[in-house]
Structure 1
Amino acid sequence: MKLLIGSDHNGFALKEQIKAYLDERRIEVRDLGCPSETPADYPDIAFAAADLISAGEYARGILVCGTGNGMAISANKVAGVRAALCHDPVSAERARKSNDAQILTMGAWIIGWAEAKRVIDIWLEAEFAGGESARKVGKIEERDRAR
């Protein structure tokens, strides 16, 4: 599995922890920035990740900012991308199984490291269930094509 990862300055420390954890799990990661705690605008990072996913170059990514909201809102502006803000295991699992979310967003000010690992593990292991959810995700994709 290959993942994109990115953060703004508020999410930098958590992003670095996530990268190290994914490396331990032998998951290849492409870091889109930011490279330090120097201020960076979350839309720039979110758009870069979402564009690569929309283009089919990557299947999934993890984005971190202060609350996770800015990253999710920004990534969801790119057609074909479904980003989900998840701070608990149930939301993470359903984001994949029901919504086929390709991007997980988290807020560094909100979630602690132990819970972030649990959320990441569940999100990575869950697969889209299809069924009733496929019809609903299809409606989202149809709306994207109409933009």
Structure 2
Amino acid sequence: MKIAVGCDPNAEEFKQQLIPFIEKLGHEVTDFGSDDSIYANVAIEVAENVAAKKFDRGILFCGTGIGVMLAANKVKGAYAAVVGDAYSAQRACLSNNCNIITIGSQVTGYKKAEVMIEEYLKATYVYNERSGKKVDRILEYERTH
């Protein structure tokens, strides 16, 4: 898969340590940088590219993962979830069809981040009775507002 990554300046080292791991999993990574102290700018750029289907998925980093998640979710067609454990990372895709995950560099260790990223990237959303109608409602609201 083609993966877009980005972060705020505080998470640059964290991101740089994780990029080779993502590549080792067999994915092509494009780094959208971290120089802008306004993390929303990088998050929006990644989200726009993922929503436009130039990338299959996105991964964003900031101190908690919350700020970049909020910014990314303002982009139509971007569905970002902050994740803090492997199960949530899986379910972000499997239950909610998220095309972006966000991770907090100041609250997550490298090994845990690797596990979450791997679980997220190996998951594939399949429409199902349990989650499909819930995701449909989110998409319907987005289309009409």
Which whole-Å CA distance do the structure 1 matches of 2:124 and 2:15 have between them?
23
Instruction: Give deviations 1:86-120, integer Å, cap 9, x for gaps.
Output: 01011101111000110010000000011001101
What is the match of residue 139 of structure 1? 137
Which whole-Å CA distance do the structure 2 matches of 1:60 and 1:141 have between them?
18
Q: 1:67 aligns with which of 58, 64, 68?
A: 64
- Aligned-pair CA distance for 1:14: 1.0
Instruction: Give the alignment's Cα RMSD to 1 decimal.
Output: 1.2
TM-score by length of 1: 0.93
Q: 2:50 aligns with which of 41, 48, 53?
A: 53
What is the match of residue 107 of structure 2? 110
What is the match of residue 122 of structure 1? 119
SS at match of 1:111: coil
Which whole-Å CA distance do the structure 2 matches of 1:93 and 1:114 have between them?
16
SS at match of 1:63: strand
What is the match of residue 79 of structure 1? 76
Which whole-Å CA distance do the structure 2 matches of 1:24 and 1:127 have between them?
19
2:3 paired with 1:6: no
SS at match of 1:77: coil
The count of aligned residue pairs is 144
**Structure 2: gaps (5+ residues):** none
SS at match of 1:22: helix
- Aligned-pair CA distance for 1:73: 0.5
Q: 1:42 aligns with which of 39, 43, 57?
A: 39
What is the match of residue 94 of structure 2? 97
TM-score by length of 2: 0.94
Instruction: Give deviations 1:54-86, integer Å, cap 9, x for gaps.
Output: 212112010000110001000011111110100
Letter in 1 for 2:136: G
- Aligned-pair CA distance for 1:53: 1.4
**Structure 1: gaps (5+ residues):** none
- Aligned-pair CA distance for 1:24: 2.2
Which whole-Å CA distance do the structure 2 matches of 1:129 and 1:89 have between them?
19
Letter in 1 for 2:44: F
Which whole-Å CA distance do the structure 1 matches of 2:96 and 2:15 have between them?
24
Runs (4+) of structure 1 exceeding 2 A deviation are 23-26
